[in-house]
Amino acid sequence: FDSMPDGGVTVSVSAEGSSGAGSEDGSKKPERLSASAASLTEAQDELQHYSGGLQLFFGHTAYFLLGADVLNTDTARFFDCIERDTAFRLSIPVFAISSGSASELILGAGDEERDATKLMHALTQELRLRGDMHVYTAAEIISAMDVNGAALICAIKCAPSAEAAEDDTQMLTVIADGYAIIKDGRLCGYIEPELSPAVWMLTGDMGISDLTVDGSGGDAVTLQLNRCRSGITPRWDGDALVGFDVDIELSASVNESGRPLPLSDPEQERVLCEALNARVTELVNGVLRTSQELGADFLNLNYAAELDSPKKYAALGGGFITLFPKLEINVSVSSRISHTNNISNG
């Protein structure tokens, strides 16, 4: 989906012969189409009218991509369409284009065999396997905006592929680019890619992922984060909400190190734990600081306060979001290194 300067919209699709867009000659090559109109409904009709005989079935939609102009104007129009159109499912993942339009990505990324759908599928699988980013669905985003007035959308951007096409031209692929922050239906900022793991740490949903820290000799050590547990506790002064205490517990193992790190030596484990705690504290504080500076409670802290004391929460003067930027948030991180996966460590 893209917004146009005159208030119209552009809808672009990429479909393959084997999935949702049958072709008479049996071709499996992807078909890329784009149409602009005054409304989303008209744009969808235009796509079908000028599809060259392809039967478009929007019930097979796999991903929604929102162009930068949509993010900067009003996302509500597009989420309203997703909610009311029976052909769409709310479980479909949504991505935000951090720079440029969705049509540029759909029409220009990939090659004659791999279209934007295949590239998005590969990226989504990579993010889920990496375990340090969450791909939000339309249902999750709509719910977050209704409850908190703010939501996160996984951001992506086009980048040159390492694989060149047959004519040596550079093929475009898709890579993750942090999170877009939506407040009151519009883009208000971004969480940079390096801070992205902290979002899952704070929600307690982080999967197995890797994080690199500095070891005792200054060498880089890659740790595998096997478990993350977080707790968010509101702090009250009488009936006044003054802040939150954020506690994060991590269990990690050594995946890779430049030199042997015998964990039988308590000093080695202490140094690694301190480095891990410091790095995670930095990441978490970066996300919390962004949330407060923008006044966007995409982490659902207001619910933690309401759940802790419904009566005090209801009596907050001016409401939670007015107080939120001024609240003091203390972050505490503890960790343990359970074992090493590096054979050279013994």
CA dist 14 and 113 (Å) reads: 12
Dmax (CA) for the chain in angstroms is: 74
- Looking at residue 76, what DSSP letter applies? H
pLDDT in tens, 270-314: 888 999 999 999 999 999 999 999 999 999 999 999 999 999 999
- What phi and psi values does residue 74 have, to the nearest 5 degrees? -160, 110
Structure tokens at 14: 């990429």
pLDDT in tens, 155-169: 999 888 776 545 556
pLDDT in tens, 198-238: 998 998 777 788 999 987 777 888 999 999 999 999 999 99
First to last CA, the chain: 54
Which helix or strand (DSSP H or E) is residue 268 part of? helix 266-294
CB 344 within 8 A of CB 260: yes
Whether the per-residue pLDDT at 30 is higher than 70: the answer is: yes
pLDDT given for residue 116 in this prediction: 85
In this structure, what is the dihedral angle of CA atoms 15, 95, 76, 67, given to the nearest 10 degrees?
-70
208 closest CA partner among 199, 194, 219, 197: 197
- Note the pTM of the prediction, 2 decimals: 0.87
- Count the neighbouring beta carbons within 10 Å of the beta carbon of residue 157: 16
